[in-house]
Amino acid sequence: MSPFGSKKNRSLSVRVSTFDSELEFKLEPRASGQDLFDLVCRTIGLRESWYFGLQYVDTRNNVSWLKMDKKVKDQRVELHANNNIYVFSFYAKFFPENVSEELIQEITQHLFFLQVKQSILSMDIYCRPEASVLLASYAVHVQYGPYDYETYKDGMLAGGELLPKGVTDQYQMTPEMWEERIKTWYMDHEPMTRDEVEMEYLKIAQDLDMYGVNYFPITNKNKTKLWLGVTAVGLNIYDERDKLTPKTTFQWNEIRHVSFDDKKFTIRLVDAKVSNFIFYSVDLHINKMILDLCKGNHDLYMRRRKPDTMEIQQMKAQAKDEKQRRQIERKKFIREKKLREKAEQDRYELEKSFEHLQNEMRMASDALRRSEETKELYFEKSRVNEEQMQLTECKANHFKTEMDRLRERQMKIEREKHDLEKKIRDADFFVHQLTVENDKREAETEKLKKELICAKMAEREATARLLHFLNSGRKSSTDSLLTASTVSNAVNTSSSLAAISTPSLTTSSSTNDMETAGGADLTTSASHYLVQGDNSSGISDDFEPKDATILEYLRKSKKQVQNQLQTLRSEIAPHKIEENQSNLDILSEAQIKAGENKYSTLKKLKSGSTKARVAFFEEL
């Protein structure tokens, strides 16, 4: 008999909520958790059911997972008194190690996408601000499809919840500023289908430190408060104040057996020489959840490392065929879209050309109308001009007669003027002759005066010479001595002048030598400066190969997303409000400065021996 009965008085009302729908069923009282779970999976078309479970709040207000091997009504599921219904949530219970390789069905990817997105927005998974913006751009792509310039409107993204509240609170930025940055990355995304965008979202989200980790409060033998993180690859131990960076880790292939006794949890390791890994939980209920998650994650961990079952092979083949079919349809759609866009563009160009021709016809018609009006106007102007020409011709004849009369009068005046000028020139010439004769007479008079003065002076000089001649006999000896002294002084004076002139030339020569030496010094200094310039350019060349090596390394390591995140981090850094940063924000910044990430930390922790890691845990 089927567990899904038809008797209403005995059936159980069940409501199962997923992230995008609500399902209601009627179950028989003896229906097990597996029956309900299978019903949900069949209803939503899910075949990768091993990742999921049904979560509920029990009568003790504890969050629990529905056990598959027990009846639904026997698992302390709280019955809502209002409508007498059992409420469950369909969640991912276990997470894959690599979403791109393990998630097969589109519905599986979609459910993981919705759950991870909600966990990030509710801050159950810590996400750095710049990564939150990138993930938000993918979420928008899922919701609205590829970016379209025609349909996108400013403010379209403001209505939805796209960023965690912790991100928006720690930056002094308006919703419009956040939207602009999300839109920038949204525009950069290539056209993709919804499942491809969701996969890109999950590939980025799985690199977050808290992704896929179930945290439980524990203590070690020293009663140090710690966090136990159950993951797809093993168990991580975290400090009470740091859920990002594990202190130590144990992979599932290192663990042989897991058990608990009351609050004491014992993990037996594969290496028999290593003592058991023991910790203590806060209550028995948590131990049961830890054991359940450990068992499920361990089974999936081991199954991933075995050949795929026929069911999984079939699912992968179907998914591959479906993906190829979608790719063919997508290529066809893109081709048809391009053809449609080309047709639209051609139609737009034809309409534009037609409109242009219409404008030209309208302009030609207007020009023709204006030309007709202009012709009529010119005709009227021509008639007026003819009348004006006739009037002007009459006036011209009158003016010509008057001009002839004035010209005759002008000629008469010119003749009279010429005669008058001739008379004036004759008078000027007569005056000039009189002036010249007068000047000659004055010159002769002056010459006679000068001759008279010269004669008087000659007479005086003759008298003086006569007196001098009379006295020359007495002074002859004295004059001889004076003449010799004068010659000697002249010679000495010439020698002195020659001596003074020669040192001046020597000084000038020295000055020229100094200038030449100075020019040589300047030239040497310039040469030395050029050598220094050559050396400095050589130092610059030494750095170029290093830069090229870094760029080549970045290209080879495919860090495009990290570079984009770093760019956005730099853009929003000036708007950060330091006092609004949480402890996780501070720890994340320290991680970035240290150059660490989720995978490098786990790799370092796994490098130590199992024994050393157990000892480290016990000493915490």
Annotated binding site: 67-70, 288
Distances (CA, A) of 529 to 515, 532, 538, 540: 21, 5, 14, 17
Q: Is the distance from CB of 195 to CB of 263 less than 8 angstroms?
A: no
- 52 Cβ neighbours under 8 A, 6+ residues apart: 37, 41, 46, 90, 91, 92, 93, 111
Name, in order, each residue with C-beta under 8 angstroms of 141's C-beta and a sequence gap of 6 or more: 147, 186, 189, 192, 197
Pick from 211, 212, 241, 243: nearest CA to 228: 243
Please give the Cα distance from 68 to 48 (Å, whole number): 16
54 and 88 Cβ atoms separated by less than 8 Å: yes
CB distance 265 to 290 below 8 Å:
yes
Largest Cα span, the chain:
187
Tokens of 478: 């004295």
d(CA 443, CA 603): 131
Give Cβ neighbours of residue 96 (< 8 Å, ≥ 6 apart): 51, 102, 103, 232, 300
User: What is d(CA 222, CA 279) in angstroms, rounded to the nearest whole number?
Assistant: 10
Spatial contact of 160 and 175, defined as CB atoms under 8 Å apart: no
Query: Alpha carbon of 261 to those of 236, 258, 267, 276, 416: distances in Å?
Result: 21, 11, 11, 14, 153
Q: Name 38's Cβ contacts closer than 8 Å, sequence gap at least 6.
A: 49
3-class SS of residue 261: strand
| Beta strands per DSSP E along 297-451 | none
Residues in CB range of 349: below 8 A, 6 or more apart: none
3-state secondary structure of 565: helix
CB atoms within 10 A of CB 162: 23
Q: What is the CA radius of gyration of the chain?
A: 57
